[in-house]
Chains A and B, each alone.
Chain A
Amino acid sequence: MNDYAFLHQYLAVGAMLFSIGLVGFFTRRNMILMFLCTEMMLQGVSLSLVGWSRFYDDFGGQMLVIMILAVAACEAAIGLALIVVLFRHTGSLDIAVWQRLREANQPPWQDDRPIPIPEEPPPSWPRLAPAGVRPVESPETTDFREMV
């Protein structure tokens, strides 16, 4: 019975990771975060394979996870190289910039929602002392000046 409890829990967590990664892949528009969500789906599959491997007391699942690791490393190398090249072309990581690759009969996607980006606070520059006036010095500065 404990074996089934382990299997159930591992498969449930794997399914959750996979579905969360799926939702993230569908909704996010940053290409790097889409890539990250793909890796999350791979993690879900790996976890369920480990659960099966423990349940059947067999190393086959773990062998497959090692292959998944290798494929994920290759995917990271190629995918991030492609993302850098795409960023070089458009200056943006937004996947919607590439929507001109869509089917010919599809309308363009336009977003009219307001952007709730908070305003950046104005930069606080250091205040310079006016020329010709001796600045007020703190007692620490005058006390320890000789030692410097």
Chain B
Amino acid sequence: MNPQQVVFLTTIILGTAGLVLLLRPGGGTMRLLGAGFAAIAFGAVLAQAPMIQPAWEGVLLYLLAAMTVLAALAAVSLVHPLYCAVCFGLTLVGVSALMAYGGAQFLAAGTLIVYVGAILVVLLFVLMLAHPRGRAAYDWNRWEVFVSAGTGMVFLAMLSLLLTRSLAGPVQWAAQAEAHRQQAAGAEAHADSLLPEKTYLPPKAGQGVLAEQHVARIGQHLFGGHWWAVQAAGVLLLAALVGAAVIIGRLRGPLEGPQQAANPPASAFAPPQPDRSEVQRNS
């Protein structure tokens, strides 16, 4: 077996076992074992990427990636929803750090502001509003764990195999890309002389993502070539605002759940309305 097949099988078998052990209800030791299995599987996928030079950058990126993926695993597998939300916040911090490192500083800041500052906080508000007691039965017993974990890991293994095979011959690809870029630059230089001033131009080689004045260039692109998308996003945001207000506006009175405010359940985990639910012991 070549290394690609080894990583493929490792990802599927160890990753599925680890996720099943992580998502199974209860069992602290088994969860640790599952986290170890999952770490081996995801590490095998990550280790297929060639080492980035210089070495400290590569180590830094590996550490960031490990933090992101481990926090994502915790966000999916922890029982308490508030802990899940906090771990998702850690995932977002890792993702935005990776974005900042990959030449997307504006997006890193935007991700932190929009996701952590708005979406995650609203999510925590709803969680506290709707679910003040913290633990419920449906946070412990999950749906089909084995089938879901197997599906996800097969998906990941196939993506990883595709990546490794696609990037196997980078030299020819790089040569082709370089030739194409030179050709495009020549065509642009000819076309630039024919264009009137203040016309939007795509970036020339070397003036792209990693150039200086990153945010200015992003603004140039956003309001130059993609202004219609900005308009569409604005209309979409307005429509979402109005829609959310309409949906929520039908509610009258305090948000105390259904008619259980006057008759609270005896136990914190008692089913609130068994007659409405077909699930026997879960909700």
Give the distance in Å from the alpha carbon of A13 to the alpha carbon of B277 in the complex. 39
Give the distance in Å from the alpha carbon of A40 to the alpha carbon of B143 in the complex. 19
Interface size in chain A (residues, C-beta < 8 A):
90
Q: A22-B152, A85-B248 are in contact. Are A16 and B45 (CB under 8 A)?
A: yes
Q: Contact between B240 and A77 (Cβ–Cβ < 8 Å)?
A: yes
1/0 contact trace for B198-218 toward A, CB 8 Å? 000011011011100000011
Contacts of B268 in A (CB 8 A): 120
Q: Contact between A22 and B279 (Cβ–Cβ < 8 Å)?
A: no
1/0 contact trace for B218-250 toward A, CB 8 Å? 100110001001000100110111011001101
Q: A78-B243, A80-B123 are in contact. Are A65 and B203 (CB under 8 A)?
A: no
Majority-rule SS of B interface residues: helix
Contact partner, A50, options B72, B107, B122, Cβ 8 Å:
B107
Q: Would you list which residues of chain A between 12 and 68 have a CB under 8 Å from chain B?
A: 12-13, 15-24, 26-30, 32-33, 35-37, 39-40, 43, 46-47, 50-51, 53-54, 56-59, 62-63, 65-67
Q: Would you list which residues of chain A between 69 and 124 have a CB under 8 Å from chain B?
A: 69-78, 80-85, 87-97, 99-100, 108-113, 115-117, 120
Q: How far is the CB of B26 from chain A (nearest CB, A)?
A: 4
Q: Contact between A96 and B84 (Cβ–Cβ < 8 Å)?
A: no
Give the distance in Å from the alpha carbon of A30 to the alpha carbon of B81 in the complex. 8
Q: A73-B119, A85-B247, A90-B272 are in contact. Are A117 and B281 (CB under 8 A)?
A: no
Give the distance in Å from the alpha carbon of A81 to the alpha carbon of B33 in the complex. 38
Q: A59-B209, A65-B107, A112-B280 are in contact. Are A117 and B135 (CB under 8 A)?
A: yes
Residues of B within 8 A of A (CB): 19, 23, 25-26, 42, 45-46, 48-53, 58, 61-62, 65, 68-69, 72-73, 75-77, 81, 84-85, 88, 91-92, 95, 98-99, 102-104, 106-107, 110-111, 114-115, 118-119, 122-123, 126-127, 129-131, 135-145, 147-149, 151-153, 155-156, 159-160, 163-164, 167, 170, 174, 202-203, 205-206, 208-210, 217-218, 221-222, 226, 229, 233, 236-237, 239-241, 243-244, 247-248, 250-251, 255, 257-258, 260, 268-269, 271-273, 276-283
Would you give 9 A-B contacts (Cβ < 8 Å), ordered by A? A29-B142, A32-B126, A50-B104, A54-B102, A54-B104, A91-B260, A94-B138, A99-B278, A115-B281
Beyond contacts A16-B156, A62-B104: 4 other A-B pairs, Cβ-Cβ < 8 A, are: A8-B167, A43-B95, A77-B241, A91-B272
